[in-house]
Every structure is written in structure tokens, then in C-alpha cells.
């Protein structure tokens, strides 16, 4: 049942599956950088470590999403598209980091309030799991809506009969 549902989803929306694959690669990049920084370079700044990992993964994901996930879209000028991608990504980084910040500093789930093991489990669940899920949903929606919209949506927005322009055709 689950496999059939996934296959149906993949056929109906191949960009979503490609977006998830790119996201998986980005997740690995984020985790390697995050834990490398957190364990060896800046252990006292876990939110910064996660944000740096997320930023590097975001740069890689722009290229992969443009060339693969949404390759059939994106008629915008590259600079405009990159500006929109950056804006969406900044919001996504904030959404990704917010649960970790709340866990560590709002709920006090850090040493010396809790054990090191509890801190690390709370960090992993709040940042890479909850934060990534929230940011992923937002990013996919925003990428479809603003960064890589379908060509028909771009034409419709620019059309003089579009509801957003306020004019209507008269016969």
C-alpha cells in the first residue's frame, strides 16, 4: 500500500521526488558540517554550527534543484531567481534552526541542566529532525510558488487579463 502510494506520487509529481533526493543529499552535507563544527571547532555554538551546515547545503541544493528537480521550470533571469532562492533559503534556515534554539535555550536542554547524552539527543531531534521537516515543507511550497514556478504560472501572472493586474477583457 505505501509503496503504491509513493509510486503514484512519483508519477504525479516527479519534481517532488527529485526535491526529496536533493534534500537528502543536503541533509548529509548539513550533518557532516554541523557535527564537524559542533564536535571539533565550535562546541559552544550548536545553532551556529547547524546554520553553517545548512547554508553550505543550501548553496549546493540551489544548483541541484535548478538543474534537476525543477529543470522544466524557471524562465526567470538567473539573478532574480537566485535572489528569490536566497530569500526562501534564509527563511528556511531560520525555520530549520528555530526548534534547536528553542530546545537548547528556551527549554534549557543543554549541559549542565541535562546530561551530555540528553543534550545531544535533544539537539538531534529538534534541529536535524523537526527543524528540517518544517523547513523542507516550507521550501518545497516556496520553491514551487516563487522560485521555480511552472511556466504557465509565470505567463498567467504577466497576462493583462490576470486577476492580479485588475483588468478584465471586455467583449
Average pLDDT for 141-158: 71
Q: pLDDT tens digits, residue range 36-87?
A: 999 999 999 999 999 999 889 988 988 898 888 887 776 667 788 888 988 9
Three-state secondary structure of the chain: CHHHHHHHHHHHCHHHHHHHHHHHHHHHHHHHHHHHHHHHCCCCCHHHHHHHHHHHHHHHHHHHHHHHHCCCCCCCCHHHHHHHHHHHHHHHHHHHHHHHHHHHHHCCCCCCCCCHHHHHHHHHHHHHHHHHHHHHHHHHHHHHHHHCCCHHHHHHHHCCCCCCCCCCCCC
Please report, for the chain, the start and end positions of each structural domain, with discontinuous segments joined by +.
Answer: 16-63+75-150
Higher pLDDT: 79 or 160? It is 79
pTM: 0.70
Predicted pLDDT at 160: 54
Predicted pLDDT at 62: 86
What confidence tier does 5 reach under pLDDT thresholds 50, 70, 90?
confident
Amino acid at each position: 500500500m505505501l509503496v503504491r502510494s509513493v509510486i503514484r506520487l512519483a508519477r504525479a509529481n516527479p519534481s517532488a521526488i527529485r526535491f526529496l533526493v536533493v534534500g537528502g543529499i543536503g541533509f548529509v552535507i548539513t550533518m557532516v558540517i554541523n557535527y564537524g563544527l559542533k564536535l571539533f571547532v565550535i562546541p559552544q555554538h550548536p545553532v551556529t554550527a547547524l546554520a553553517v551546515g545548512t547554508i553550505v547545503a543550501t548553496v549546493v541544493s540551489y544548483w541541484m534543484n535548478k538543474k534537476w528537480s525543477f529543470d522544466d521550470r524557471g524562465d526567470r533571469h538567473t539573478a532574480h531567481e537566485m535572489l528569490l532562492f536566497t530569500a526562501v533559503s534564509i527563511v528556511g534556515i531560520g525555520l530549520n534552526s528555530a526548534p534547536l534554539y528553542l530546545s537548547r535555550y528556551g527549554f534549557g536542554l543543554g549541559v549542565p541542566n541535562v546530561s551530555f547524552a540528553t543534550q545531544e539527543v535533544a539537539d538531534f531531534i529538534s534541529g536535524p529532525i523537526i527543524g528540517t521537516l518544517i523547513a523542507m515543507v516550507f521550501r518545497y511550497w516556496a520553491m514551487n510558488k516563487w522560485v521555480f514556478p511552472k511556466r504557465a504560472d509565470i505567463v498567467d501572472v504577466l497576462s493583462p487579463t490576470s486577476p492580479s493586474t485588475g483588468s478584465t477583457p471586455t467583449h
